[in-house]
Structure 1
Amino acid sequence: MDRTAALHAWLTRHLAPGFTLSAPIGDASSRRYFRIIRTDGPSLMAMDAPPASNDCQPFLTVAALLKPALRVPAVLAQDLEQGFLLLDDLGETDMHSALLQADGAGIQTLYLSAIDSLLALQSASQPDVLPDYTADTMADDLERFAHWYAGIHLGKPLQGSELAVWERSRALLIGRAQAQGKVWIHFDYHSRNLIAGEPMGVLDFQDARTGPISYDLASLLKDMYLPLPEDFRLDIAIRYWQKARAASLPVPASFDDFYADFEWMGVFRQLRTLGTFARLAHRDGKTRYIDDMPQALAYLRETCVRYAQLHPLFKLLETLTGITTQVGYTF
């Protein structure tokens, strides 16, 4: 019996006859979601997380932690041995889809709602509850760029002086990230993991941990699936910082310092994401993610050209990709 059939059979023990399953939703991991259409009530969601490559327990743990502060799915039934969860449905329209249909005012409203939910997440932070995003784990995550993107995707393994530049740049990025104030981070807080509504619904939080306060904002405002002009990013970042200060969250007292942290965190995330996209394409056969790489590179070039300490990384990116950009001003 394949997993979809096994999931359907499991659901028959919890639901009245006559329900149907949508096509699978999501393909960035082996975890899949299905919308359940029922004749006797509102739609529900089913998670299929094969136990060989997934553990449902972190989802359950984080859902319980976040439920008081955020609109997250309620767990209605579970079978951890098979890797199945039955969840309530937060809605069919994710933030990404809503943004594509919104005008300027609507776009701003959606992002303001997203930062309000982010602030609620961060304000719920408790020490020693979620695992730390350690410097060693950050280094391992960035190695996806060196191995999967540079080495496998581009066919240019880093060695010699290029490897030295990479290792120095990696150390700088990790040091800057680790120096930030720490809060709970969703770890993948972008438009496809948020459900439009008030408050914003939040999905795919199972990898949540304690980490740098600008991490999730960088994920949101430097979203590889929906590029934003910098003046808009700056406006939302200012609004976020003002609210974070009012909520006594650990952001710098100077917005300039916070924005620099945010930009460096974006560089970290874009490098990590390029490695992840390359791994999805070349290990897992999900080649559609290659189409999202140019936006990550655009964000990288935009930021690295500004900061003198990141110029060697900027030059390395030019060497690897063959894309050149006129160097402008630095901070």
Structure 2
Amino acid sequence: MSQRLNLLQDWLQNVIGIHAPQLVAITNDASFRRYFRLTINGVSHIVMDAPPDKEDCSPFIDIAQRLRASGLNAPQVLESHLEQGFLLLTDLGSQLYLPALTNEAMVESLYGDALKALVLMQAHTYSDGLPLYDHQLLHNEMNLFTDWLLGKHLKLSLEAAQRARLKNCFELLSTAALLQPQVFVHRDYHSRNLMIVPKKNPGILDFQDAVKGPVTYDLVSLLRDCYIAWPRERVNGWAKDFYTQIQELGMLKDIDETEFLRWFDWMGIQRHLKASGIFARLYHRDGKSGYLKDIPRTLNYIVEVGADYPELAALYQLVSERVLPQLEGV
């Protein structure tokens, strides 16, 4: 890491022309990327260090341009060195959505802004050329639950009949996702990636894994957040508001509210299977234990929603009767 820091400082000083750059480390995220704050002529900037053998900066640059072109508040890429994995970005500040959401007086306003931005993103952000959220990717993500949470973390083995029922649930979930209108999907649109900013709120971060995929994916990321939970009635109210907004834009022809909410519920189950597996992987593969505490909240969404859908009974029973109880003993 010290070698990369020397390379980074050399790039900033000798290529960009910043005299004696003073880098202040910012908390790491769940990837291999590191971030620093750097003041240039009295203005704060962000420097990204993305080791090129682990991360590719090209998608970040591409998606940042797409989002900004559609009027959204994403960082501007000011300078880049793709070979070394360095970017110099504008700074969206340090006010994350997540801590502010503990202030009830701010909740409706913040979610209102985030939902309006999401409508704008889906209606106007160019999605052609992005990877597709296809059958293979959807199943690769759900398999993280099986491989990392059940297998690696809980040492929980399933009988052949249980595996078959679980596979059938996965197939139902992926089919529902692929039936939806396919739009630009941020893929991690939640309270840890949204910044409170004075103009064009929210500031949007961590978008480099964007794909073209289901219309409800980012909505469920936002409203059934792995890091903060709301009563289901309130979540459904926000989801219905979003439905009304995109319906008015003609993006959901012949899809009624009931069908949309079913898509929303099932998309959430797919996402929370993926997220719980990723949290386990972050611990076992990357040594990051901080996400383990978020697994029960993430799985509780599956229990809350899955109870309404008999087709998904096998998954509901597995999570409620085996996985969550076993987590308590780990």
TM-score by length of 2: 0.92
RMSD of aligned residue pairs (Cα, Å): 1.7
1:236-315 alignment runs, 5 A limit: 236-250=238-252, 253-315=255-317
Question: What is the CA–CA distance in structure 2 between the aligned matches of 1:196 and 1:127, rounded to whole Å?
Answer: 25
1:5-44 alignment runs, 5 A limit: 5-13=6-14, 14-17=16-19, 19-38=21-40, 40-44=41-45
Q: Which residue in the other structure is 1:327 paired with?
A: none
Question: What is the CA–CA distance in structure 1 between the aligned matches of 2:138 and 2:229, rounded to whole Å?
Answer: 25
- Maintained 8 Å contact 2:66/2:125: no
Question: What is the CA–CA distance in structure 2 between the aligned matches of 1:252 and 1:19, rounded to whole Å?
Answer: 56
Shift of 1:267: 0.3
Shift of 1:103: 2.8
1:10-89 alignment runs, 5 A limit: 10-13=11-14, 14-17=16-19, 19-38=21-40, 40-69=41-70, 70-89=72-91
Q: Secondary structure at the match of 2:325?
A: coil
Match status 1:140 vs 2:140: yes
Question: What is the CA–CA distance in structure 2 between the aligned matches of 1:127 and 1:12, rounded to whole Å?
Answer: 36
Shift of 1:155: 0.4
- Maintained 8 Å contact 1:183/1:211: yes
Post-superposition CA distance 1:187-225 (Å, at most 9, x none):
110011111134211111111110000000000001011
Question: What is the CA–CA distance in structure 2 between the aligned matches of 1:260 and 1:117, rounded to whole Å?
Answer: 23
Question: What is the CA–CA distance in structure 1 between the aligned matches of 2:13 and 2:51, rounded to whole Å?
Answer: 19
Question: What is the CA–CA distance in structure 1 between the aligned matches of 2:130 and 2:18, rounded to whole Å?
Answer: 37
- Maintained 8 Å contact 2:187/2:211: yes
TM-score by length of 1: 0.92
- Maintained 8 Å contact 2:299/2:324: no
The 3 A distance-change label for structure 1 pair 76 and 19 is same
Question: What is the CA–CA distance in structure 2 between the aligned matches of 1:238 and 1:84, rounded to whole Å?
Answer: 41
Q: Which residue in the other structure is 2:233 paired with?
A: 231
1:80-229 alignment runs, 5 A limit: 80-100=82-102, 102-104=103-105, 106-126=106-126, 128-197=128-197, 198-199=199-200, 200-229=202-231
- Maintained 8 Å contact 1:165/1:316: no
Shift of 1:65: 1.5
Shift of 1:125: 4.2
- Maintained 8 Å contact 2:141/2:273: no
Q: Secondary structure at the match of 2:35?
A: strand
**Letter in structure 2 aligned against 1:195:** M
**Letter in structure 2 aligned against 1:98:** A
Shift of 1:229: 1.7
Shift of 1:251: 6.5
Question: What is the CA–CA distance in structure 1 between the aligned matches of 2:127 and 2:55, rounded to whole Å?
Answer: 25
- Maintained 8 Å contact 1:45/1:89: yes
- Maintained 8 Å contact 1:187/1:209: yes
Question: What is the CA–CA distance in structure 1 between the aligned matches of 2:185 and 2:253, rounded to whole Å?
Answer: 14
Shift of 1:254: 1.4
Task: Single out whichever of 14-23 and 308-317 deviates more from structure 2.
Answer: 14-23
Post-superposition CA distance 1:65-104 (Å, at most 9, x none):
221221111111101111000000012112113223x333
Post-superposition CA distance 1:103-159 (Å, at most 9, x none):
33x110000100111111101244632121110111111111110010001101334
The 3 A distance-change label for structure 1 pair 247 and 15 is farther
Question: What is the CA–CA distance in structure 1 between the aligned matches of 2:65 and 2:232, rounded to whole Å?
Answer: 36
Question: What is the CA–CA distance in structure 2 between the aligned matches of 1:286 and 1:73, rounded to whole Å?
Answer: 27
Percent identity reads 37
Structure 2 unaligned regions, length at least 5: none
Q: Secondary structure at the match of 1:175?
A: helix
Post-superposition CA distance 1:260-304 (Å, at most 9, x none):
110110000000001111110101110111111010011111011
**Letter in structure 2 aligned against 1:121:** M
- Maintained 8 Å contact 1:154/1:320: no
The 3 A distance-change label for structure 1 pair 122 and 322 is closer
Q: Secondary structure at the match of 1:191?
A: coil
Shift of 1:26: 2.9
